[in-house]
Amino acid sequence: MKGHNSGNESDHVTTMADEVTRAHSAGEGGDTIFGKIIRKEIPADIIYEDEQCLAFQDINPQAPVHFLVIPKKPIPQLSKAQDGDEQLLGHLMIVARKCAEKQGIADSGFRMVVNDGRHGAQSVYHVHLHIFGGRQMSWPPG
């Protein structure tokens, strides 16, 4: 089944090399796929929405539970966030916790990841939190 992960690190549908390749070809600026999801121009499996953010299932899950939390405000990278974005960025983390509870992974634990820039393997230049759960995560992650 495409997108299914049996829990083994080697079973990833998208490899880290794939993400790095996407990150190296991604460009900052302009509209992104996340902007289209926010405007409902393309479908997404939305699990949460409020006036500040949106959470939806990842289309290529890397864990049994894998969703994204994105701000509606287009911030291209965490490293380019402004001091005035503090409340919004904190709100994203609270929404991630609420969604983790709703998805049944809050009690067992989950991983939250923000990829930033080329070396951080950011492939979409719109800040987003990846939330992974439903299996034991390994360390180190990268």
Question: Which of the residues are catalytic?
Answer: 128
CB-based burial label for 14 (10 Å; 0-12, 13-18, 19+): middle
Contact between 85 and 75 (Cβ < 8 Å): yes
Rounded CA separation 136/142 (Å): 15
